[in-house]
Chain A
Amino acid sequence: MLAIKLPVLRVKTFYLGEISGSVTTIACDKISKSNYKEGNQLMYSVADLRKGLKITLDGDPYIVIAFDFAKPGKGQALYRTKMRNMINGTILDRTYRSGETFEPASLEDRKMQYLYKEDDHYCFMDNQSYEQIHVDENSLGDAKNYLIDNLPVDVLLFKGKAIGVDVPNFVNLRVVQTDPWAKGDTSGSDSKPATVETGYVLRVPPFIEEGELITIDTRTGEYSTRVKG
């Protein structure tokens, strides 16, 4: 009896195997086959798109954040993508057909250090060439909360223009303002606001005093530990 035979067989196969987590995007394994050159420019075909790939679209760099293949019965292959603009964060949701091609985003990561701020620009220096570049405040994002003199950073450049700055995961900053811990405080609060030398304000434990050096986790923006001096 057909109705019983097939699902039972397949269910066994399913349970015998290791069940992986829920994967909603699938990497394509055909990069080497379908890459081709247009002039001297290596191009990606739509089937090369995968999560994390960086491409140029309408002149801006985009990173693919979701990708899936779709094909309605007897219809044509469609590639559904979600991409984030690496400059302004805009999310694009686009569907492509086979045959579309994309220019890779020409991105460069350079080791630099922070020098100083001038108006709404921040100045960084290349550790190798000593070349100095300016990055505007919008491109810095949260990194501007941690910039102290000579901080080593990774600057991401697109066509020579800085579009992002990565700071170390942990940065030590000095507390310039925080209220003293009132002994016998019965409010039960286990943290208080503190301002650090960059102007950034965060919650710290009550025992932290002005002038102390603290470590901040730049991935969360939160207090990590007190630096014993």
Chain B
Amino acid sequence: MGGYLEVETPLRIPAPAPEAHIEAIPSDGWFLHTSPELCMKRMLAAGYGRIFQICRCWRDGERGALHLPEFTMLEWYRVAADYRSLMDECETLLRSLPRVLGQDCSVRYQGKEADLSGAWERLSVSEAFARYGGMAMEEALVKDLFDEIMVREIEPRLGIGQPTFIYDYPAERGALARRRGDNPAVAERFELYICGLELANAFSELTDAAEQRARFSLEAAYRGSMQRTVYPLPEKFLDELGDMPPSAGIAMGVDRLVMVLLDAATIDEVVAFTPEEL
């Protein structure tokens, strides 16, 4: 996977993507970005074909064994690609890492093991619910238990033996992802898990500006109904989205990747300072 240009985009922006469950930290009337997604897509619209960025991102209120409110993200975008080609690229990128660190081709994390050298599992979200969730994905959505089942039953069983991609999420759980042409109920989105740890999230990007505006409005309405901050719509992004060619993009948590490679139980162990230590 060559030909990627490293880019930098502003960390402080006037309007973050209005996603239902991601909280931006205000910064003097603007916001610290929650990911570099909007600016990087504007670069695709401006004609860049393959770009990547490693940067800090901020998400308010996220703190736990796997979460820091300030963390490091690797994002890369590629035109004329879809989410399936990003799965292939992910495999290529990560396969080489244990060897670079002088390890064999397996990752051993918190008593679990995953062999990166063989075939990686590809499982639809619907199949994951059927196999591990104890109920169908549709039923979990109707009963409003999707996240609880994902966290308690499904995630701990993913990426064991080999890495797992789970793909085709309910469309409302990927506000910037393209819907599947043959099944508009799901979005072309995947997540990568290794040894139960969620490492990356990717889409075939939504490039229809009118649909993007409608889906942002839905997210904003939900945020309003939950008494959460309703962010201004990112108008310049929406204006330029029509010029963005079909593309795919992925966001990988660098701290989590380091955790898995070094068998660190918590994200605290891979940063110099946690917020509590400042």
> A residues within 8 Å of B by Cβ?
2-4, 6-8, 10-11, 13-14, 16-17, 19-20, 22-30, 47, 68-78, 80, 95, 98
A7 — which chain B residues lie within 8 A by C-beta?
97, 100-101, 257-258, 261
Q: Which of B8-16, B147-155, B207-215 forms contacts with chain A?
A: B147-155
B side interface size, CB within 8 A:
53
Please pick, from B97, B151, B269, B271, the residue contacting A3 in the complex, using a CB distance under 8 A.
B97
Complex CA distance for A73 and B97, rounded to whole angstroms: 23
A31 to chain B, nearest CB (A): 12
Which residues of chain B from 1 to 44 have any CB-CB distance to chain A below 8 Å in the complex? 1, 4, 19-22
Complex CA distance for A13 and B265, rounded to whole angstroms: 16
Given contacts A7-B97, A23-B266, 15 further A-B contacts (CB under 8 A): A2-B1, A2-B76, A6-B74, A14-B258, A14-B262, A22-B265, A22-B266, A23-B65, A24-B266, A25-B65, A68-B65, A73-B191, A74-B21, A80-B152, A95-B152
Q: Which of B56-64, B231-239, B241-249 forms contacts with chain A?
A: B56-64
B218 within 8 A of A: no
Closest to A17 in B: B272
> B residues within 8 Å of A by Cβ?
1, 4, 19-22, 52, 54, 61-67, 72, 74, 76, 93, 96-97, 100-101, 146-148, 150-152, 155, 169, 173-175, 191, 198, 201, 254-255, 257-258, 261-262, 264-266, 268-272, 275-276
Contact check, A80 vs B151: say whether CB atoms are below 8 A apart: yes
A77 — which chain B residues lie within 8 A by C-beta?
21, 61-62
Complex CA distance for A47 and B257, rounded to whole angstroms: 26
A-B contact pairs, 10 of them (CB 8 A): A2-B1, A6-B254, A11-B261, A26-B266, A72-B151, A75-B21, A75-B150, A75-B151, A75-B173, A78-B151
Complex CA distance for A134 and B89, rounded to whole angstroms: 70
B57 to chain A, nearest CB (A): 14
Closest to A29 in B: B276
A24 — which chain B residues lie within 8 A by C-beta?
65, 265-266
Contact check, B173 vs A27: say whether CB atoms are below 8 A apart: no
A11 — which chain B residues lie within 8 A by C-beta?
101, 258, 261-262
B262 — which chain A residues lie within 8 A by C-beta?
11, 14
Q: A2-B4, A7-B258, A24-B266 given as contacts; is B150 within 8 A of A72 (CB)?
A: yes
A214 to chain B, nearest CB (A): 43
Contact check, A10 vs B266: say whether CB atoms are below 8 A apart: no
Complex CA distance for A47 and B4, rounded to whole angstroms: 40
Complex CA distance for A35 and B125, rounded to whole angstroms: 37
B117 to chain A, nearest CB (A): 15
Query: Which 10 residue pairs spanning A and B have beta carbons closest together?
Result: A69-B64, A75-B147, A72-B150, A10-B258, A22-B265, A70-B151, A76-B21, A73-B201, A73-B191, A3-B96
